[in-house]
Amino acid sequence: MQPEPILRIEKLVKRFGQFTALHGVDLDIQEGEFLTIVGPSGSGKSTLIRLLVGIEEPTSGHISLRGKRIETLPANHRPTCMVFQSLALFPHRSVGENIEFPLKIRGDAVGPRRERALALMDLLHLPQDFYDKRINQCSGGERQRVALARALAFDPEILFFDEPLSALDFRLRKNLEKELKDLHARTGKTFVYITHSLEEAMLMSDRIAIMREGGFEQIAVADEIYAKPVSRFVAEFMGEVNLFDVESTGGGGLQGSGLEVQMAPDQLLPELRVPQGGHGALMVRPEAVRFLGPGEAADFALDGVMRAEYALGSRTQYKVEAGDGREIAVEKLREDRFAGRSGDPVRLGWDQGHCHMIVEE
Amino acid sequence: MQTGRAARIALYLYGALAIAFLYLPLVSVGFASISKARYLSFPIKRYTTQWYGKALESHTVNDLLWTSLTIAGIVTVVSMVVGFFGALAFARYHWRFRGVFQKLILLPIFFPQAVLGLALLMWFNFVGWIPDWKSAVVAHLVWISPIATLVIAIRAYSFDPALEEAARDLGASTWTILREVTGPLLMPGVVSAGLFAFLLSWGNFPLSLFTTGADSTLPEWLYAKMVSGYSPLVPTVGILSIATSLVLLIIAYGISRLLRSGRDRRQQADG
């Protein structure tokens, strides 16, 4: 049985004039969880987080924190806190004064305030002599840490993040993603993180919620979302994917998009079955597709011509043109790269254990 | 290389001419105030400081200085307060009639001051207010407080709204946000607006002419004496007027530096 969630969202709606940004979303967030909300621009994720921290008021619906309704509470009366996209550090205050701000507002004495700020600076690997440094003298990564320390000084029940790493360079972002994950483990706090970066979501989160047009498309752990998306949108949003429109030909048979498979009914995995006459999108990720050698077999196979090769660092991606003109993506580790050249005929194959069927109405 | 040097010389010459164009009239007023002769002519035959002595002893000049200072002082303070909140309404917050407000607040700046002065004089007569220095304060405010609002609004436009949201999110009330975040961040704009307001009011002639009634300000007196009764006391009072505004600007700058360092010290002590 699931424990009582720390935050429950029920039928939350937000309208701006004629435009509906959120269409009655429901979500339970468990205590200590790292939940990431991912979605394309305009999907409503920033609106949702602004409602959750109390900067905006919902049009209708409920938000409950530990069972108490908070949707009408203003932001300064909620025990939650947010790290803003712009970080929103006060430029007229030093690093130490920024971190101490929530403690000052709370009326804490000078000594304990400073002590807490220095402890948080230590936790976030900020040197102690940064205490008197001006914000405009700090680098992007240092500012990021100051914003985090300030939010932690507030000691929130839930810490929200609105794409705080989006403005940083790749290397720094990668480091901070790992640090955030470590920080979550060390503090045990509930983190709700918003991003449009799939990699960020995959690296840090316990669960991922995919948003689309003001609603949740799928909420699940990262592996499940990646391997078993509920829709084409989620499948494509979670990275490069090959989707084949197929229909059942009865028993263990599937046909369409250049594929034709006829297996014994008990051989085809149950999760790949489509009702008789029904349609589905057979999904296989590029890393699960193999180049088949002569005499090599696979559950699914098709012939094509090598068209392009893209080096992705540790991996290489290939584009293969299938017989019906569609492009199939294949990804291999650098050491397993394809030996041929562009224009060579190739045979691709994959096993049903690496496939997922998105059944369509 | 030769071309470069020629261009540099031309540039220096241009700069020197521009500075001469701007400051020679002021310098000549200075010379007029220390010339023994009634009217300025070069070369000056005899120098004197007697006009400064006379000006400082003159009750009339002291009254003029006091009236001008009072008007400019009140206009400065009120403009800073009105401009601060006006700028928030103008640039920071979204509200229903913001567009109308933005246009209305700009209008007085574009009115010719003489027309504005005449309109205000007619209005004061209509409401039965006999014009004096207090009505001049109102007149100056009608023209200067929109300018102060604009000066502070420029600062407010560069203000990231997320700063106030973050402060609220961290537990601050509306008043605390104003005191701890909005106020300090807009303060450079408020100080600039105050300086502008003082200088515009101190040197204002057209509005004062229509609205001071029996009272008189320094620019009005200078004009009146130029029209009739000129003596070297006129340029002397002009120089004293410039000196006063310079001294006040230096004092204001010193106060703002003191306030800033005091705030820093307080914050360090708090910290």
Segment B55-78, tens digit of pLDDT: 888 888 889 889 999 999 999 999
Residue A192 makes CB contacts below 8 A (sequence gap 6+) with A7, A29, A35, A36, A37, A49, A52, A158, A159, A160, A161
Spatial distance between the Cα atoms of B77 and A97, rounded to a whole number of angstroms? 30
Closest CA to B239 of B35, B17, B102, B71: B35
* Chosen CATH of A241-360 out of 3.30.450.20, 2.40.50.140, 3.10.20.30, 3.20.20.70: 2.40.50.140
Interface test with B, best of A50, A57, A76 (most B CBs within 10 A): A76
Say if residue B22 is in the same domain as residue B97: no
Among candidate residues B15, B31, B48, the one where a domain is terminated: B48
Q: Do A75 and B165 touch (CB under 8 A)?
A: yes
C-alpha angle A60-A65-A67 in degrees, rounded to nearest 5: 95
> Quick check: helix, strand or coil at residue B152?
helix
Q: Which residues of B touch A113 (CB under 8 A)?
A: 271
- Say what angle helices A140-153 and A170-187 make with each other, to 10 degrees: 20
Say if residue B121 is in the same domain as residue B207: yes
Instruction: Output the CA torsion sign for A81, A87, A88, A90.
Output: positive
Say if residue B123 is in the same domain as residue B203: yes
Q: Quick one: tokens of B67?
A: 């009236």
Residue A361's pLDDT is what? Answer: 67
Does A185 contact chain B (CB < 8 Å)? no
Neighbours of A310 (CB within 10 A): 11
Nearest chain A residue to B188 by CA distance is A92
Alpha carbon of B162: minimum distance to chain A alpha carbons (Å)? 6
- Domain with residue B228: its CATH number is 1.10.3720.10
Residue B152's pLDDT is what? Answer: 94
Successive 10-residue mean pLDDT values, chain A, 361 residues: 87 94 94 94 93 95 94 94 93 93 93 93 90 90 92 94 82 84 91 89 92 94 91 90 84 75 76 78 91 86 90 90 88 84 89 86 67
Say if residue B23 is in the same domain as residue B88: no
Binding-face residues of A in 38-67 toward B, CB within 8 A: 53-55
Does B228 contact chain A (CB < 8 Å)? no
Alpha carbon of B257: minimum distance to chain A alpha carbons (Å)? 15
Nearest chain A residue to B165 by CA distance is A55
The minimal CB distance from A76 to the residues B168, B268, B269 is found for B168
Q: Do B267 and A88 touch (CB under 8 A)?
A: no
Say if residue B124 is in the same domain as residue B224: yes
Residue B271's pLDDT is what? Answer: 43
The minimal CB distance from A114 to the residues B167, B171, B271 is found for B271
Q: Do A131 and B269 touch (CB under 8 A)?
A: no
Interface test with B, best of A87, A92, A146, A148 (most B CBs within 10 A): A92
Closest CA to B152 of B187, B182, B118, B117: B187
A216 and A233 Cβ atoms separated by less than 8 Å? no
A239 and A198 Cβ atoms separated by less than 8 Å? yes
Does B188 contact chain A (CB < 8 Å)? no
- Say what angle helices B133-157 and B98-110 make with each other, to 10 degrees: 130
C-alpha angle A321-A326-A330 in degrees, rounded to nearest 5: 55
Spatial distance between the Cα atoms of B86 and B95, rounded to a whole number of angstroms? 13
Say if residue B217 is in the same domain as residue B146: yes
Q: Give the burial class of A337: count Cβ atoms within 10 A of its Cβ; 0-12 exposed, 13-18 middle, 19 or more buried.
A: middle
Does A154 contact chain B (CB < 8 Å)? yes
Does A238 contact chain B (CB < 8 Å)? no
The minimal CB distance from B165 to the residues A88, A90, A151 is found for A88
In tens digits, chain B (271 residues) has pLDDT values of 556 888 899 999 999 999 998 888 888 888 888 777 676 667 777 778 888 888 888 888 889 889 999 999 999 999 999 999 999 999 888 888 888 888 888 888 888 889 999 999 999 999 998 889 999 999 999 999 999 999 999 999 888 889 999 999 999 999 999 999 999 999 889 988 998 899 999 989 999 999 998 888 999 988 888 888 788 888 898 888 888 888 877 887 787 777 667 666 655 555 4
Q: Which residues of A touch B176 (CB under 8 A)?
A: 105
Nearest chain A residue to B267 by CA distance is A97
Q: Report the number of distinct structural domains present in chain B.
A: 2
CA-to-CA separations, B197 to B108, B131, B142, B193, in angstroms, rounded = 15, 21, 11, 6
Spatial distance between the Cα atoms of A212 and A219, rounded to a whole number of angstroms? 12
Cis status, amide bond into B43, omega within 30 of 0: yes
ipTM score of the complex?
Answer: 0.83
Q: Which residues of B touch A104 (CB under 8 A)?
A: 270
Segment B186-233, tens digit of pLDDT: 988 998 899 889 999 998 999 999 999 888 899 998 888 888 878 888
Nearest chain B residue to A52 by CA distance is B169
Q: Which residues of A touch B167 (CB under 8 A)?
A: 90, 101
Residue B246 makes CB contacts below 8 A (sequence gap 6+) with none
Does B134 contact chain A (CB < 8 Å)? no
Alpha carbon of B173: minimum distance to chain A alpha carbons (Å)? 7
Interface test with A, best of B163, B170, B182 (most A CBs within 10 A): B170
Show the domain range for B107. Answer: 53-270
A160 and A49 Cβ atoms separated by less than 8 Å? yes
Q: Do A110 and B269 touch (CB under 8 A)?
A: yes
CATH 2.40.50.140 in chain A is located at: 241-360
The minimal CB distance from B166 to the residues A80, A88, A100 is found for A88
Q: Do B168 and A55 touch (CB under 8 A)?
A: yes
Neighbours of B73 (CB within 10 A): 16
Nearest chain B residue to A56 by CA distance is B165
- Say what angle helices A95-106 and A110-123 make with each other, to 10 degrees: 130
Say if residue B32 is in the same domain as residue B128: no
Residue A117 makes CB contacts below 8 A (sequence gap 6+) with A96, A99, A100, A103, A131, A149, A153
DSSP-derived pairing of the beta strands A7-16 and A19-29? antiparallel
Would you give the distance in Å from CA B120 to the centre of its chain?
20
A212 and A233 Cβ atoms separated by less than 8 Å? yes
Binding-face residues of B in 69-128 toward A, CB within 8 A: none
Say if residue B165 is in the same domain as residue B223: yes
Say if residue B95 is in the same domain as residue B229: yes
C-alpha angle B138-B140-B146 in degrees, rounded to nearest 5: 100
Q: Give chain A's end-to-end CA distance (angstroms, integer).
A: 32
A322 and A239 Cβ atoms separated by less than 8 Å? no
Q: What is the DSSP letter of A44?
A: S
Residue B46 makes CB contacts below 8 A (sequence gap 6+) with B35, B36, B37
Q: How many residue pairs bridge chain A and chain B with CB atoms within 8 Å of each other?
A: 69
Q: Do B170 and A93 touch (CB under 8 A)?
A: no
Say if residue B44 is in the same domain as residue B171: no
A138 and A146 Cβ atoms separated by less than 8 Å? yes
Say if residue B227 is in the same domain as residue B181: yes
Say if residue B186 is in the same domain as residue B244: yes
Q: Kindly report the CATH number that applies to the domain delimited by A7-236.
A: 3.40.50.300
- Phi, psi at A315, each rounded to 5°: -125, 165
Residue B268's pLDDT is what? Answer: 56
Q: Which residues of A touch B173 (CB under 8 A)?
A: 76
Spatial distance between the Cα atoms of A84 and B246, rounded to a whole number of angstroms? 44
Q: Do A90 and B165 touch (CB under 8 A)?
A: no
A229 and A61 Cβ atoms separated by less than 8 Å? no
Interface test with B, best of A47, A56, A86 (most B CBs within 10 A): A86
